[in-house]
Structure 1
């Protein structure tokens, strides 16, 4: 998924903490503070005051370990599961979660706040992994939702007198030739989510023919979201040549003009549900403190920060979206989804088949 949302996050740097490498977050150094290492993606951002308040209440300092995008994060956690690089992880998304569950990367923990909405997105009941000591069975707990959707530059379509597309089928029509840019499913989490959306929409027998139509129509495939959105898309600050891009349902909230109206729009009939999860890493030497950090990520205080700091939707159902999001970036009602076990079974084969298609 990452490096994603980078252009959207830049304007927030003055009010939110951006952490890189192994930066410590929290207040001034205090010998009494217990340090918990949080492995996460490069888009992790949270206001300093929220972290300071958490440390003051809990006595826990969060040390952030950035691991690139969601795929890189999942890969690192699997490769180091015998000797975990952190105590807790956040940012494993629903396209890669099944791999970490199959590899037993996470320990069971039923967070109390999961009942406030995150349980809607539960992937896993660990069954035999349950310890019998109250830790529960769920190894991953939803923290936020960031649906991947096709976005369009509405001003471009209005000025060129071209009707706006609405559906997957529209994107493959000749009138939209050479207008679409998408991150590669092989190297990008949103690109992979778009591929999964087409599998869900067109079926196992039809998605390859659909992608052939996109390629024949001049669709552009680039390595990642940043290149697609900030360089090739005409509706972003990069003012590229293409008015259709694969991005996020939340992206229009970052493109509100001086008149208060969004310059872009997400096509809600093209969305794929992408959920980000957190979990306690199996093998941590600080399991109690790690659970407390998971609880913090589900707290109203943290959840209220995620829309305007990470451009995702809170998993808690009792946390309202910012007013501007209500109009510009509503959460899709009926996004496409594939079962986690189906994604796990098909992901590598689908990527391989996509490579063969795109490389001719």
Structure 2
């Protein structure tokens, strides 16, 4: 019953696909320990009638696999199981050690057959969008009245501890699919961690600590590749809930895939920035680069490029890619659009 208990906690009690993932990560003994959490190794050992040293050994192994999470990453004397499917997905896949195509294929199959659709539908009916788009720095850096909480450079600089790991979503695409058409995760990792998130990946050895300057280099390259900065939907730049900056794409990102398989609009789960793109028609040569770079299908090109403001998320990818500087950004939403 241990696997079933864990599957129920993750919201997919009948899934044969999730069962295969859990069986890959742990045998029946380890699953029994994980299902007995939360608790200390001593509490779990007493509950299950097991030797404490054996329980500690199992929990340590599951910690490095990304299955269980200690309160204290250094002492590791109290654990809990992954709080939800997203945390299990990211922790087990967003690692420099994750190089197994078979494990990636398990997640890909689970996502396409079950998880993406369910997550998309659940996020679409939520009362609050938990994630938002942050505009590309190069697209707004010269505009007036840019807020600190939408200036990705200032947001990065405000963090005390920063680390980076390979993107969990792109690890799946790279190992189990055709790869990402926008960027190469094997040459540069794009999932930037902050605060407790950074402490976690450093302690687990799944990523590496980096400097502010190194993080800003990642941001610059992400913008060149047309990736979309995303951030927790809060105006607080430094907050215990702000543990990651994702740099997303339609090929791989959970938001895009959940919207696709759940048959729901992506704007129902991902908040737009305060900006939209527009075209200086005198400068536009209708080259089509902006249309290619737009991941929200908001741009069409005939004699000139034209932006559908209803579809535009204000990510700035088109602006960064326009050599003629014909694509520009303007603020169309008030500061209160970003919740405080």
The TM-score normalised by the length of structure 2 is 0.25
Structure of greater relative contact order (alpha carbons < 8 Å, 6+ residues apart): 1
In the superposition, the TM-score normalised over structure 1's length comes to 0.24
Larger Rg: 2
Q: Which has the higher helix share?
A: 2
